[in-house]
Amino acid sequence: MNHWLRRGLALLILTALTGSGFAMAEAPKLKTIWTRCVDENATGYATFQSNNQKVVSNRRGYFMAYIRSRNEAYTAQQWRLIWSQDGGRNWTVLHEATNATNPAVLETDSRDNVYLMRPDWGDAQWSNNMSYLYRFLAERDYRDPIITEVPGSVHGKYALEIDERRGQLYFFSANEWFFVIGLDGKVRHQARLMQPGEHAWLQYTYLDLDTDGTLYAAWTTQKKDVYLYWDIHCMKSVDGGRTWLRLDGTPLTPPFAADDSGPTDLISRPEEFEVHSWLWSLLAKAGKLHFTYQIQGRPEATQRYVRYDLRTARPDLDIAPRFGGEALPMCRLDGFFASDDRDPGSPLYCIGNSSSTSNRVTAIISYDNGATWHDYAQSRHTFGSLYAIGGCPEVTPDGHVIGSCTDQWSNPPRVYFFKFRSARSEG
């Protein structure tokens, strides 16, 4: 059959199908993830890492924290808090300083105040052992922050979560200590939650507060004296961080071992101990708890998505080795979940990188709380090397998902803000 005959036959079949009422399926059109470079001259670790929140939104605009530079000894990092009042197009520097620190973590409240927390290990690493809470008040137009010391809290990896109903903040540091801090800046409670386990010690920490007031804490461990992320765990608190429980409600008595030799729920699998397993993100939504992480196995890395049912405290979905939408898989070592806590039926998003070669910020969407996933959005901008894709787990009041990342392979590295419109906001 020649070319023109084949083409004519195909046209006749298409006409017959459409004329008979059959609709030809079309690939869904991807939404655009809008990106904006906010700093063209930064360090490659500017937005380190996806385990905590460095971008927030309130009625006054968007706020973002990152570091611009660092010295070899990690004792002099220039860090910034920046503010956009026009949807992320233009940014002004609210505060900047040079300290022995990592990128600050952020929260905001219904009165539009911004809470910033950062560690400081002083001239000799870890000797100061002090973190600082900065309260940027809306009534002061975010000038002259009120600064509170939080002793005994220093580590390079940490997470912050606001609980406005109880009037407090939670700070979980990889130095094994957990802090409850009032919105007035006063430390209300502190406790050593963990100790090194038989195989590994605490590393990346994660926090998420459910709409019923339950606080979830998760973490990734590192094998002792070896660069190997060993396993992933989770627990919960129903009394504002005073006491802790397994997901099934079994009480925990701290300090307990952080790794698989301890009593907390193991999210990763035992067969993954000997390869890197590094949690991206944690999110509680509508009776489910969502996790995703990369398994750096051989011959290639794979992605696992695990959903826990909070009623049974057991996993009810485990998707691997491919987790993603129709054409866009999730991969690499960083990303985050986002949704609208105000609406239990709202979509759930997972934002990350779709491959080791595309280097575009990518979002997939679930309309059924993680049961199925679909391609949703991707950045038009292609990055040299996408690093530390993180963001706000709550859809903004103006209907966007917002985040930040670093392009490590640009010369010098560049810092980016990104956003995309949520499905609900599009009507």
pLDDT at 299: 76
Distances (CA, A) of 238 to 32, 90, 110, 137: 39, 41, 22, 29
**Per-residue DSSP letters for 314-367?**
EEEEEE-S--BSSS-B-EEEEEEEEE-TT-TTS-EEEEEES-TTT--EEEEEES
φ and ψ at 3, to 5 degrees? -60, -45
pLDDT at 129: 86
86-122 tens-digit pLDDT: 999 999 999 999 999 999 999 999 999 999 999 999 8
pTM score, two decimals?
0.92
pLDDT at 356: 60
Which portions of the chain are predicted below pLDDT 70?
1-28, 123-127, 356-357, 425-427
